[in-house]
Amino acid sequence: MVVLMAWVMASFLFQGVATCEGMSNKEIMQELEALRKRISELEKELTKKDQKIEEIRNETVKREEMPGVIEKMRAEGGPLSFLQEHIQFSGLIEVGGVWANTDKKAGGRISESDVTLNTAQLAVQANLNDWINGGIILKYEDPTFAAGVDESGIRLDVGIVTIGNPRKFPLFVTAGAMYVPFGGLLTHLPDNPLIDQPLTLVLGESREKAALFGFEYEGLRLSGYAFNGDMNKKGHENRIESFGFDANYSFQHKTGFQGKIGASYISNIADSNGLTEVLNAKGITEIESYIGGFDGYLSLSYSNFFLDGEIMTALKAFGPDEISTWQGKGARPMVWNVEAGYNYNWGKNLEIVLKYAGSNQAENIGYPRRRYGIGFNQTIFDGVIGSLGYFHDRFDRHDKDGRDSRDMIFGQIAVEF
């Protein structure tokens, strides 16, 4: 800037010398005063431009400096630090296809096929501190064979708050919208209630707004919960009077043998998602009496082999006008599911699953009486699993839909992130 000013002054002086010979002293003084004012104005303009350039430099962060700036912000606290330390996001996308061929008892055959976005869900886990955390799951579901069935849309599937830290103290409390722990609902194959998979999930899965009290210590987990269910007893007020318990123990031996054994009880199995839907379809919103439910489950694994078994049953019969047998008596539905298999690692894990499942007194619910199946789960990339399976179903001779047997082939791609 100094050089520029000197150049400007020299230019003006040179011009002045060339013309001053014909000017009076007064005119020369006026010309010099005008020159001084002009130089002063130029100096102010140059100063403003220099200040603007400095501001731009201070506000601009070069691309190569960005990682360091972010690390500094994390170290100093603020939103980035809180998100990194306390908030975790995860998601699941399942895209599947099914082909089913059903033989009718009266003759004839029905063939169905469908491709769907089975599940799309986003989970957010907020660990506010060592003793309080919350979580929400937003889910979209598209039923298989969805003719006449609306897609679920995006809905709040789970929203809970947990107070406690089992690593430091064995007791904890969880409250909110949740799937209460009734049964293990064990399966190694894609779950889809619209194709009755697994039967234990279709009969017993219960989403409730509940308060749960738990105990967890060295592999032992106990939980008890209470809720106001959707299926009330006739004559009873709309209040909290349904409850349940679950107890399970996980163990592991140094030889590699490990497993879990557990049992569950719920005071009203009619509150399960599946049975509530069956009763509502018949126009039933209240039942004569609460029907308790029991579930026992076992999961074992050794080396690459595994075995899972589960049985679930109502503890007494429903009213004949609620859920009945083919004879017109009140039904006491029971289901079971057994899966055994092997994990073959050929660089990427391939899980081979054999299934045997079935039901009793469930012909008017529509469950298959016997199910035989085989499935394969292939790890494609980290977080990406492709599944392919085959089921053969045999139905009760008094099946409500008149079905005799069904062959089903299904496939799915699941992406977790």
CATH number at residue 163: 2.40.160.10
| Run of H or E residues at 32 | helix 25-59
- pLDDT tens digits for range 362-376: 999 999 999 999 999
> Would you state the torsion angle of the CA atoms of residues 62, 68, 73, 79, taken in this order, to the nearest 10 degrees?
80
Instruction: Tell me the per-residue pLDDT of 4-30, one tens digit each, with 9 for 90 and over.
Output: 444 444 454 445 444 445 556 666 677
Q: Is residue 70 part of a domain?
A: no
CA distance 375 to 390: 6
DSSP 331: P
Concatenating the DSSP letter of every residue in 236-292 gives: --SS--EEEEEEEEEEE-TTS-EEEEEEEEES-GGGSHHHHHHHHHTT--EESS---
Mean pLDDT of the chain: 86
In a domain, residue 72? The reply is no
110 and 192 share a domain? yes
Do 102 and 10 fall into the same domain?
A: no
Same-domain status, 315 and 395: yes
Overall average pLDDT of the 355-364 stretch = 96
Instruction: Give me the domain span that covers residue 28.
Output: 2-60
* Residue 33 C-beta-side C-alpha neighbours within 13 Å: 6
Whether residue 67 has pLDDT greater than 80: no
Pairing between strand 232-233 and 286-287? parallel
Which of 12, 41, 60 terminates a domain? The answer is 60
Instruction: Let me know if residue 68 belongs to a domain.
Output: no
Q: Are residues 232 and 99 in the same domain?
A: yes
CA-wise closest residue to 185 among 45, 371, 337: 337
Kindly state whether residues 102 and 50 are assigned to the same domain: no
Angle formed by the axes of helices 2-19 and 25-59, nearest 10°: 160
134 lies in the same domain as 39? no
**113-134 pLDDT, tens digit each:** 988 888 999 999 999 889 999 9
pLDDT tens across 274-313, in order? 999 999 989 998 999 999 999 999 999 999 999 999 999 9
Please tell me whether residues 22 and 123 are part of one structural domain: no
pLDDT at 45: 73
Do 95 and 55 sit in the same domain of this protein?
no
Same domain, yes or no: 25 and 127: no
Residue 182 domain flag:
yes
Please, are residues 294 and 264 in contact by the beta-carbon 8 Å criterion?
yes
Is 154 inside a domain boundary? yes
Judge if 337 and 272 occupy the same domain: yes
The reply to whether 77 falls in a domain is no
Do 93 and 53 belong together in one domain? no
Checking phi first, is residue 382 left (phi over 0); if not, alpha (psi -120 to 50) or beta? beta
pLDDT of 247 above 80: yes
Has residue 78 been placed in a domain? no
Q: Which of 387, 384, 378, 403 is nearest to 97 (CA)?
A: 387
Helix (H) or strand (E) holding 14: helix 2-19
Is residue 25 in some structural domain? yes
The total number of structural domains that make up the chain: 2
Same domain, yes or no: 356 and 394:
yes
String of DSSP letters for 44-86:
HHHHHHHHHHHHHHHH---GGGHHHHHHHHHHH-SHHHHHHHH
